[in-house]
Structure 1
Amino acid sequence: MPERNIEFGRYGAGGIKGHQAVARQLDALAGYIATPVTARRGLLARLHYLTRTDHARAAARAAGLTVTARTLRAWLQGTRSPSRKNLELVERAYRTVRRENVARHLTARLNREGRGTRVEIHPLNQSQVDRPRQRVVEFRTLNVRRWDRIVAAWAADDDRALDDAWIDQVVDLGSQWGQYEYVTNVGFAA
């Protein structure tokens, strides 16, 4: 089962958990605003995204952005600047709302009406491991047909559920699936 590599990296191997690589790729597909929140342009873009409709404002409140309408107006007009803590709240709320908004679209694109999406799994980096301790781990591809649980866990920012959903898919690699618990990269496109 998952987490069999209790002492990962003990002999110098490098990599990240497979579900973290999947989350990173889904984040790239979500198309976040590139300008940082600390820049005026980035802050304004995020605030406009979070306040343009009643639904967006409600989602932002649910995501933790609970400042008053007066404060939001002052930030948008530039008469006041948010504190570092509020900048973090704006960024977290923006990412949460953006994930919720694109999750349904990503799920449909990745499922492709039951055909699924081809996933490339790049194995862990063993360049720093002594030769006798290296395992033979190769580049693998896998066609994932059911993305619903993976994308739902990513949208909810639930690391444990994402790990479980990803392991359920990686098991299709056969008896070697445990070798791909840690990877250097997971690539797919929607």
Structure 2
Amino acid sequence: MPERNIEFGKYGARGFKGHEAVARQLDDLAGYIATPVTARRGLLARLHYLTRSDHARAAARAAGLTVTDRTLRAWLAGTRAPSKRNLERIEQAYRTVRRENVARYLLARLNREGRGTRVEIHPLNQSQVDRPRQRVVEFRTLNVRRWDRIVAAWAAGDDQELDDAWVDQVVDLGSQWGQYEYVTNVGFAA
């Protein structure tokens, strides 16, 4: 695909892929539990979220939390503590289930009945690049009207699809869209 960067950072530019910034922003909008899973309060909050209904339990099992109901009850009662590996599984299952639960809500908020959401794209950081090699890249805004592919890829955790969906939106910036493949921040609100 034209305009893709092959050797990003070769001369000292810093930033990260635009789709990663979009995923971070969507994660912020999802409103995860702030207390870490290693704290008792955070563990209990995640376990209650994952076990509050039969549907939530099934989603947690599908997301990789495959322990017995007896083990879950022991964790909730505090008689046993999950291992480090199980804590990671609990966190991953919680994030996966939370993404699936809020995806439809976020999609409706971001699409705004076809009006879309304004996105601010902050360009990559070129402060470490020698002056003759710096490009003129400026702050840009873009109104994204179709968030369906972006939110679906984010909810599924599919980075490649999220990248493709984001690039499909960024090409609306014009012939220089490749300059915004790497950014310092992408901001929007729902």
Q: C-alpha separation between the residues in 2 aligned to 1:174 and 1:142?
A: 11
- 1:124-135 paired onto structure 2 within 5 Å: 124-135=124-135
Which TM-score applies when normalising by structure 2? 0.99
Q: What is aligned with 1:101?
A: 101
Cα deviations across residues 18-47 of structure 1 (Å, max 9, x unaligned)? 000000000000000000000000000000
Percentage identity across aligned positions?
A: 89
Q: What is aligned with 2:35?
A: 35
Q: C-alpha separation between the residues in 1 aligned to 2:5 and 2:153?
A: 23
Q: What is aligned with 2:173?
A: 173
CA contact (8 A) 2:3 2:179 kept: no
What count of residue pairs does the alignment treat as equivalent? Answer: 190
1:3 CA drift (Å): 7.5
Q: C-alpha separation between the residues in 2 aligned to 1:183 and 1:4?
A: 13
What is the root-mean-square deviation in Å for CA atoms of aligned residues?
0.8
3-state secondary structure, aligned to 2:121: strand
3-state secondary structure, aligned to 1:165: helix
Alignment partner of 1:6 is 2:10? no
Could you tell me which runs of 5 or more consecutive residues in structure 1 were left unpaired when the two chains were aligned: none
Which TM-score applies when normalising by structure 1? 0.99
3-state secondary structure, aligned to 1:8: coil
1:4 CA drift (Å): 2.2
Q: Which runs of 4+ in 1 moved over 3 A?
A: none
Q: C-alpha separation between the residues in 2 aligned to 1:4 and 1:18?
A: 12
Could you tell me which runs of 5 or more consecutive residues in structure 2 were left unpaired when the two chains were aligned: none
The amino acid of 1:141's aligned partner reads T
3-state secondary structure, aligned to 1:65: coil
